[in-house]
Structure 1
Amino acid sequence: MFVCREGRVLPPRRVTNIRPGDSTCGQRALYLVGMTGMPIYNVNNNCSTGSTALFLAKQIIESGNAECVLALGFEKMERGSLSPKFLDRTNPLDRHVETMAAVAGFCDSPVPSQLFGNAAVEHMAKYGTKPEHLAKIAYKNHKHSVNNPYSQFQEEYTLEQILASPRIFGPLTKLQCCPTSDGSAAAILASEDFVHLHGLEGQAVEIVGMEMATDLPSTFDENSCMKVVSLCEPGEAGDFIDSGNNTYGGRVVVNPSGGLISKGHPLGATVHPRLNDGTPDEHGGNNHSVTGSPLASCVAVPSASYHLTSTEETTHSVTGSPLA
């Protein structure tokens, strides 16, 4: 399975399926393409909408129902924090919020900041992580953003500025939280035969693995996600961050584009740029300074992880983990 970054060489008739990554707007977004006969599927899975689209596009190709699929994601967001829009029905996150409230209490802060902020509070209590460790992650991500021309914010901040910015919830300050954003992105997935038939070898990056996991107890007991990204052992995140092994010059480069707090977080499109983070520079990726890294790992909450590779064995991990 391959991802082709350049779609301009493919006439529309050769792209046999299209799968947008937001709501039911796919037909409208591609209306001007004309009556192609290509099926259009719409998926909506919060922050993992893009990775869900990629996963399903891969399944369509592997099933033999298509040779080439366009996974398109887009989002136009309101100002301010995410909030429920339909108050006359059950909120899909009600069980999560109820459990959080029972364990950690509930306040007037935006619910997303409480969900992620309480995860940070729990990590601090369990492993002794300090607020400074969390701030160093934001410092690193903002520093990476200055080299990303597509980042919503391209400004470097000192550790002191990050810690002194307005507090949102728990240890998290404004400069440690991602903004609401408008954005769009797309990826073209193709079979190996399609790539060779159209001479796309120089533009294609192989997906060597993609898997979707649900919330079984074993998922957390075995620390499977941590094994996938192979950053550090449980409880060693603080030392890993202090060592600088999560940035340029270290063992791995995490979020080379600046992460969601810098490049923005348009829900339907947010995964696709992270896929681009893992694209080798010779294929047009934007992680220009990452060398000797033909393997990239991308993890999206809550549903999918995928791995891109070249031909060597050096490992380069890219993840959206809060403690990265």
Structure 2
Amino acid sequence: MKKLKFMVLALALVLALAVPAMAEQVNVYQDNQLVKSVVFKIGVPYYVVSGQTPGVKMDVAPFIENDRTFVPVRFLGNALGLSNDKITWDNDTQTATLKGSATLQMSIGKAQIVSNGQAKDIDVSPMLVDPGRTMLPARFVAEGLGYEVEWDEATQIVVCWPQGEPKPDVSGAVSYLTQMQQPEQPLVQGHSVNGYVVPANTNLWISTSGYKNNGSIVFSIDLKKGNLQQQYEDAKNILLQTIDSDTTTKAIDYAKKNQYALENGSRENPIYCPITTFTAPNGMAVRVGGGGGDSIEFQLWQTN
């Protein structure tokens, strides 16, 4: 009997030693389902989870600021597997908290992420944009919640998938998001766009699609095209069609600060110039900033 017990114990020991140790892996869930992938595309107000289409609609599209992709906090948290009760906002401290595989905290205007109480400096800070959305840098949040993150410059796509897993095939999601990006129609110079008269022969980039009837227009100063003095003058002429001269001057001056930051800052020594909104007495608002590393975007709309 003792011999039999010894043989059983020996066999158990051999089996235990024969099984390799499992690598530590972070599992991320949404509605108790493993999130295999999350895909965002710059400028497209939808995201795709685990290849499921149609995608989820957002009220603010992801954008690039200081070479980082920003996504609305609640949509970002939901996409990465967090229910709404795991995503909180403290208005007094302007701090967003996300509770997943780690507890992350980020505050408006502070270039720092706090993970389980440990603070780490980062190169950008969260920001507030209209309509009252808190935008977080996607990479730092996703990595903090246990994801690998990949950026594709050519397609302007961000892909997230759980750490320890091979990168999934997201070609279907990329195709869907590309289709959801409304193509820009050729702009006839000197004609109107959503009620705004666009200066003839302008070097401004003008968005010609996707407008609602709220007095909106989106355009950018293109730093690569040169003739910046004329571009600023063209931007001023567009803004003055619906807002007063004081608000226009503030917007143009802030755009020039953005230009200085883009031309003189670097990843190692960034010059922060966050997206800022100026509101005119008549209720028109103009948001200045973003647009990528070679442009300064203006978004103009009626707030009431």
Q: TM-score, normalised by structure 2?
A: 0.23
Considering only CA atoms, is the larger Rg found in Structure 1 or Structure 2? Answer: 2
Higher helix content, 1 or 2: 1
Higher relative contact order (CA 8 A, sep 6+): 1
Q: TM-score, normalised by structure 1?
A: 0.22
Higher strand content, 1 or 2: 2
